[in-house]
């Protein structure tokens, strides 16, 4: 499959700070690709490098095979949706959407038609005459999306665009963005620090830490087969087992990850004591002590709950104890 975006040993240094440190990356045409990581991990800098808002210290970035070394932002086949939406408050919605078309010299009738089509695409037909102040947060986010899409980019860059929305609206917009990407068939590059967003929307995820990609793969691989303790801890909840405990459990002297939902309470198995419990609605989270090691387990709603202080026995399927690389 053709690469829409390709990084070849890309670095971006700010003095002694290596914001991006020797990154190799290939994003396929038509892929929904997420860059996931904590603040300061390098993911947003990578997005800015693709957009041309920043330049690499070394290495090369190509978009559809063309090096972007000397290509200014306005000549790149990309567009960006920002977290703060950056809408012009004095313009109505239609003129906000059509602003880029006006800048490139498209006539008023053509850009009005294109803006209305873009608004229909993001489920805002008939909103063209409103001002941004008359819209909800979710509607403003859609306007920002329409403004980017109206320019017909080959690659759409999304810089934490759902960060300002409340939980329910954010979840609804995740579904809408994924459906829109499938409908359009263009490449989406989505930056987020929210692992739920990345796992639910992306075809592939790159996990960043300290300027490097520490693992890239499908959401399933990232969640169930983390390669390092950092990935296991950052993506979802996980019990990180130290090598001595892993060895006692029969897994060898390496770090291991065991998801709380994989642990079952049984009549026989590894003994542990219940330290505390927390009601989560669909499940109850138990904090357990296994010979000085803290673990968490999830007991589904309706299952019998042990009391704090009780001794319980734990089991899990052999494949659920995920062993990591020695020294990872």
Domain assignment of residue 328, yes or no: no
Based on the domain organization, do 289 and 163 belong to the same domain? no
Element housing 114 (H / E): helix 108-121
**Token representation of residue 200:** 């639910």
30 and 160 share a domain?
Answer: yes
Same domain, 172 and 250: no
Tell me which DSSP letter residue 91 carries: S
Q: Residues 295-301: what's their mean pLDDT?
A: 95
| 297 and 189 assigned to the same domain | no
For the segment 9-20, what is each residue's pLDDT rounded down to a tens digit? Answer: 999 999 999 999
Regarding whether 259 and 200 lie in a shared domain, the answer is no
The last residue of one of the domains, among 200, 231, 262, is 231
Total number of domains in the chain: 2
Give the residue-averaged pLDDT of 50-73: 95
CA-closest candidate to residue 246, choices 182, 172, 325, 183: 325
Shared domain check, 254 and 222: no
**Contact predicate 272/266, CB 8 Å:** no
Domain assignment of residue 147, yes or no: yes
Q: Which two tokens stand for residue 73?
A: 């932002």
159 vs 51, 141, 210, CA distance in Å? 11, 12, 18
CATH number assigned to the domain comprising residue 265: 2.40.50.140
What are the structure tokens assigned to 202, written together? Answer: 């992306």
DSSP label at residue 310: -
Q: Residue 273, SS3?
A: strand
266 and 317, same domain (yes or no): yes
Domain end residue (candidates: 189, 207, 231)? 231
101 with 122, same domain: the answer is yes
pLDDT tens digits for range 65-85 = 999 998 999 999 999 998 787
Domain range enclosing 252: 237-323
What pLDDT sits at residue 228? 92
CATH code: domain of residue 79:
3.40.50.300
Residue 131 lies in a domain: yes
Give the integer Cα–Cα distance in Å for 42 and 7: 13
pLDDT of residue 138: 85
Tens digit of each residue's pLDDT (9 = 90 or more) over 26-39? 999 999 999 999 99
CA 190, 195, 200: angle at the middle one, nearest 5? Answer: 70
């Amino acid at each position: 499959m053709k690469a829409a975006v390709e990084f070849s040993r890309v670095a971006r240094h700010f003095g002694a700070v290596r914001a991006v440190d020797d990154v190799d990356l290939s994003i396929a045409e038509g892929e929904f690709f997420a860059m996931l990581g904590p603040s300061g991990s390098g993911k947003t800098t990578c997005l800015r490098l693709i957009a041309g808002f920043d330049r690499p210290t070394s290495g090369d970035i190509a978009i559809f095979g063309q090096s972007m070394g000397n290509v200014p932002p306005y000549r790149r086949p990309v567009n960006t949706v920002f977290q703060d939406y950056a809408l012009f408050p004095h313009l109505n919605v239609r003129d906000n959407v059509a602003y880029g078309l006006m800048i490139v010299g498209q006539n008023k009738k053509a850009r009005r038609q294109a803006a209305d089509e873009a608004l229909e695409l993001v489920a805002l037909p008939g909103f063209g005459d409103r001002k941004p102040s008359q819209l909800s947060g979710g509607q403003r986010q859609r306007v920002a999306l329409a403004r980017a899409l109206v320019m017909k980019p080959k690659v759409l860059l999304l810089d934490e665009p759902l960060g300002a929305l409340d939980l329910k609206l954010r979840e609804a917009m995740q579904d809408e963005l994924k459906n829109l990407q499938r409908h359009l068939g263009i490449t989406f590059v989505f930056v987020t620090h929210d692992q739920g967003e990345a796992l639910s929307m992306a075809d592939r995820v790159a996990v960043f830490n300290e300027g490097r990609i520490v693992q890239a793969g499908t959401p399933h691989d990232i969640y169930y087969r983390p390669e390092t303790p950092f990935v296991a801890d950052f993506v979802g909840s996980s019990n990180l087992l130290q090598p001595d405990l892993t060895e006692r459990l029969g897994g060898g002297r390496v770090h291991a990850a065991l998801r709380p939902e994989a642990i079952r309470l049984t009549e026989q198995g590894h003994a542990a004591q219940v330290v505390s419990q927390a009601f989560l609605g669909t499940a109850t989270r138990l904090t357990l002590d296994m010979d000085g090691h803290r673990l968490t387990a999830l007991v589904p709603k309706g299952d019998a709950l042990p009391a704090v202080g009780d001794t319980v026995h734990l089991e899990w399927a052999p494949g659920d104890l995920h062993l990591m690389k020695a020294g990872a």
